[in-house]
A and B are shown apart, each in its own frame.
Chain A
């Protein structure tokens, strides 16, 4: 019996990734794998000071070195007409005042504002020559007072990061109804209050950023590692260089992880483009790991005073959160909107909380600018509400699952518009939690805790029930489909893979429509000459880009059907299309899809399709983590991890689960080990290598029980899918921290445990457990 190809390789199945054969053979094509004839190398001299005035730059010694081709300063770039990248345009300053402007030059002009800020660019014929040149440049700095921590930036008389930023505030937002919230707290039977810190993190993709510029026929091409090729092109052309957009082409090959950090344009991209344009020859820059820690955008870094008002039965009456976000030395649009708007969109999460009072302030410090990092605002917001829920359960002596259940939005309330005006199309939150409780054997915890105790370990359990918003609120995508007479279907999408297996999932969607075997499908991404789009961020690729692929594929079949009708001399409605063949219904007259393409004048059937989904997707999940704490050392071990995830329909379940589990380990990294640390006083970044920044290693988690609940399709896109890239990261952090606090609370250290801040490293856990410094 023949199994139709669509069933064998279409969506809904765990097809092996088409990306993998090249990658496991070492035949990937990452940016630094490409070299061009006559290529030069760029090295950047970076500020050793957190805050200083640039008095003078002397490049003479560098220029005298053999192999040094050119040296550029910020002043040189200004003279060449480059404009700085603008600061966030969306939010006012405190109290509605005008927000301070923090224009960012690709190379610092007059002042440096964080350690690692690029100051001088040196181009050499070899990487060694460029580095030697960099080391020979002399910059005279006049050191200025600095602040790297929130408290110091907000203290009376604090040094100012920017002269016109009063009290170092960059922006402020207020959401909800403060008066109504005050009233809710006044009538509450219970109030829980926590101070919660989402510490600063490094996205730390394994592949450092890298850019290779080349010049041909008056155009600059940047081959680079980016999630948003079109965005980089547009920022450089429109905002920085004043070039027409067709003067710059951005090409992206394999991307070795992005996690939000490779969204948008960086100063280094601008410098490479400028050097390439000025020298009219190839220029390559590859970040060293320490440069990445110093200059690639960081994530999180907020401190929140969070309060929940509840009635006697544990129903939430009001939520009040006051957050201060350390956004670094430049108030970028991304860094500010993540904390002031995107996080707040999900602050009430899956709960029916109508009354909120959110105050959020973005604070400038002499640190690396903060931008997107996997989850971008939602991990912070969900951490806050899920910590509050656990604290409330403890105060009311309720089961953490039960207090959540009581407050959940019910399926019959869908579509549900939350207190921030965001509308959830679907979700069965109680069902998801109930399934997760069963999967994790929540009820059997006591027996496992007793067994742990016999081994001298303190066991705790933590859960997080939550949702998130996905999509970047950019719902349109352009796709081109080319059915070639040579026997393959090439599909171009301007979304951008960075390891998520997008090509495989897209190919499965193409197979669904065309019914041809998957090896006839080629997915192409990463070339602004072939199409523009928002790129990949905010877990939007499958539900926006995938939907656009499906629409484009259907439009192509439709167009081909018309051509087939002509070829077969009949009306289109008399033709049926099945698995690569057009047939006149009820006859044996037929023509193959590729044969049809070969007959066309241009040897192809080509469709340029733009389509949109209606709204963001709202994936949701319940993640349950159990930990064992060693009371003698404070070391935390993840004992088990179970999750049930409503991701709508899964195109490739293996890829989806891979996203969830890999994402969860990043979330566990925030909970248990990762932290970017600046030295107060010197302003130096202390965690600037992989020796000092603790990424999760192979022994952090030994297994995952991960289930998909596909029974609740998203109603606002044709595929019924929900974004999945960030869900695991968002759930894991509160689940793990709640578990550690639970373990300590069971040992009688609940109050001290509730005051713990991430990462929950052994020293902090031991101190909380024993009530004294380790």
Chain B
């Protein structure tokens, strides 16, 4: 067991973890943050995407101890039930950008990472940002529409 100190969704968190534990296992099993999903074991599907110091990472391929001293943001930290819904979350609802919802947290986190550094992304930039996130239900077109709506909403919000 190793002692792990990190910030999860703005909360300083300290816990004991087995050193071979993956970040997603610690998030889901030890911290009860089950919004981050595991869809594959090979970093292909993107359902487990979280932000590590603002950058999107596959939490199924990162050891929890590698997050020592860093900031982790999961879908629960973005907003939603019990908190104000984030514009990206709202855009996925408005654009019918989800069906079964299993890939959705990963899609939303990848989108959040994209819009942080590219507030007005082109079609190609959106495709590039989401090429590592698989969705089997929607056919993606509505997901791209949701990203565009979210970008527009966020841009409005940042106007003086």
Using a CB–CB cutoff of 8 Å, the interface residues on chain A facing chain B are: 16-17, 19-28, 30, 32-33, 35, 204-208, 254-257, 259, 286, 288-290, 498-501, 654-655, 657-658, 661-666, 689-691, 695-704
Contacts and interface: CB of A to CB of B under 8 A. Distances in A.
Given A689-B44, A698-B143, A20 B134 contact: no
Nearest to B25: A127
Interface in B91-121: 92-94, 96, 98-105, 108
A67 to B, nearest CB: 13
B98 A259 contact: no
Contacts of A695: 134, 136
| Interface of B: prevailing SS | loop
Given A25-B75, A26-B34, A206 B100 contact: yes
A21 B130 CA distance: 22
Given A25-B75, A691-B44, 16 more contacts: A24-B92, A26-B35, A27-B76, A28-B35, A30-B102, A207-B100, A257-B100, A290-B41, A663-B139, A664-B139, A689-B42, A690-B44, A691-B42, A696-B139, A698-B126, A704-B141
Interface stretch (B51-59, B61-69, B79-87, B151-159): B79-87
Contact of B103 (A206, A689, A691, A703): A206
Contacts of A21: 80-81, 85, 93
Q: Which 7 pairs of residues, A with B, have the shortest CB-CB distance?
A: A26-B35, A25-B80, A499-B100, A256-B102, A23-B101, A665-B139, A26-B75
A26 B74 contact: yes
A26 B130 contact: no
A257 B102 contact: yes
A16 B93 contact: yes
Contacts of A22: 81
Interface size class of B (residues with CB under 8 A): 35 or more
Given A21-B81, A22-B81, A206-B135, A28 B127 contact: no
B72 interface: no
A501 B75 CA distance: 21
A662 B80 contact: no
Contact of A689 (B40, B85, B93, B96): B40
Contact of B131 (A19, A207, A501, A699): A699
A655 B137 contact: no
A691 B74 CA distance: 25
Nearest to B39: A206
A254 B138 contact: no
A25 B78 CA distance: 8
A690 B42 contact: yes
B37 A30 contact: yes
B96 A256 contact: no
B132 to A, nearest CB: 9
B95 to A, nearest CB: 9
A336 to B, nearest CB: 26
A651 to B, nearest CB: 14
A205 B136 contact: yes
B41 A24 contact: no
A589 to B, nearest CB: 42
Instruction: Find the residue from B33, B34, B36, B136 having the highest chain A CB count within 10 A.
Output: B136
B99 A501 contact: yes
A464 to B, nearest CB: 17
Contacts of B100: 205-207, 254-257, 498-499
B39 A207 contact: yes
A271 to B, nearest CB: 21
Contacts of B139: 661-666, 696, 701, 704
26 contacts: A23-B101, A24-B89, A26-B34, A26-B35, A27-B35, A30-B37, A206-B37, A206-B135, A208-B39, A257-B100, A257-B137, A259-B136, A289-B40, A289-B45, A499-B100, A499-B101, A499-B102, A655-B96, A666-B139, A690-B42, A690-B134, A698-B127, A698-B130, A701-B140, A704-B139, A704-B141
The CB with the most chain A CB atoms within 10 A, among B93, B94, B103, B131, is that of B93
Contact of A206 (B33, B102, B108): B102
B44 A697 contact: no
A654 B99 CA distance: 11
Nearest to A703: B141
B131 A697 contact: yes
Contacts of A704: 139, 141
B41 A288 contact: yes
Contacts of B79: 25
Contacts of B28: 32-33
B6 interface: no
Nearest to B20: A128
A23 to B, nearest CB: 3
Contacts of B135: 206, 698
A518 B76 CA distance: 26
Nearest to A256: B102
B4 interface: no
A259 B135 CA distance: 13
Contacts of A699: 127, 131
Contacts of B134: 206, 690, 695, 697
Contacts of A257: 99-100, 102, 136-137
B5 interface: no
